[in-house]
Amino acid sequence: MIKLLSIAVIAGLLAESNQQLANNSECWTDWFDRDDPSGSGDWETLSSLRSENPGKICSNPVQIDVRTTTGLTVAATGNVVFRADTTTGFVCKNVEQTTTPCHDYRVRFSCNPPFCGGGVCWTKWFDRDNPSGTGDWEVLSSLRAENPGDICAYPLFIEAVTADASMTPAIMTGDNIYAYNPTTGFVCRKTDQASNVCRDYKVRFGCPCSY
């Protein structure tokens, strides 16, 4: 899931269109969050990520970028990190922390231009659900069923913003996001929020322009 540097998920400022081309010579994968720190820590290892996301990470990543699922840098959390590199991936062990346990992290990797492909085209925005029930469920399977032919078979990226005029990026709203990836889609559950309320979101997907 290659993410071009010219398209930042947190920007939310790109023009709205059904097919928007984004090209850049440098690229990043999408964010991955395979583990939670409830066990021995947070293990976002490259080998496991590759196994769970075949073809979506280049063979020789150039850089690794690590953030908490709420957008904080590792330095901002104060966690002691066991490993963070392009060979192993990212590992935070709870046993090595002196104050708070490991935060929940996500990672992405930068790749050389040949892995970037010919560009990414974005779908239109979709808003199939309102948060009046258990939360806001913008899941890919439901969106495909309700919008046949409008979303490619294997999206590369996903972008989620609030459905209001501000189009605030999901990771900047303060909501705890349950799912946010181009395989599942986007889910904000009320039970995960201290306020028991989710914002109303809309999503779009980045697809290979050839689809």
**Is 5 among the domain residues?**
no
Asked if residue 191 is part of any domain, the answer here is yes
- Evaluate the CA torsion angle 35, 37, 41, 44 in order and state its sign: positive
Enclosing domain of residue 175: 14-23+118-208
83, 74 Cβ separation under 8 angstroms? no
Q: Which of 116, 145, 166 is the last residue of a domain?
A: 116
Domain co-membership, 170 together with 66: no
Quick check: 57 and 50 in contact, CB under 8 A? yes
Q: Is residue 189 part of a domain?
A: yes
Please indicate, yes or no, if residue 197 is contained in any of the structural domains.
yes
Tell me if 8 is assigned to some domain. Answer: no
Instruction: Give the helix/strand (H/E) hosting 122.
Output: strand 120-122
Angle at 113 between CA 111 and CA 117, to 5 degrees: 100
Length of the chain: 211
Tens-digit pLDDT profile for residues 1-45:
333 323 333 333 333 333 333 334 457 888 899 999 999 999 999
How many domains would you assign to the chain? 2
Phi, psi of 120 (to 5 degrees): -125, 135
Residue where a domain terminates, one of 116, 132, 150: 116
48-63 pLDDT per residue, tens: 999 988 888 888 899 9
Mark whether 95 and 132 lie in a shared domain: no
Question: pTM of the entire structure?
Answer: 0.50
Instruction: Calculate Rg over the CA atoms of the chain.
Output: 17
Q: 22-26, 72-76, 78-82, 121-125: which range is least confident on average?
A: 22-26
Domain identity same for 124 and 78: no
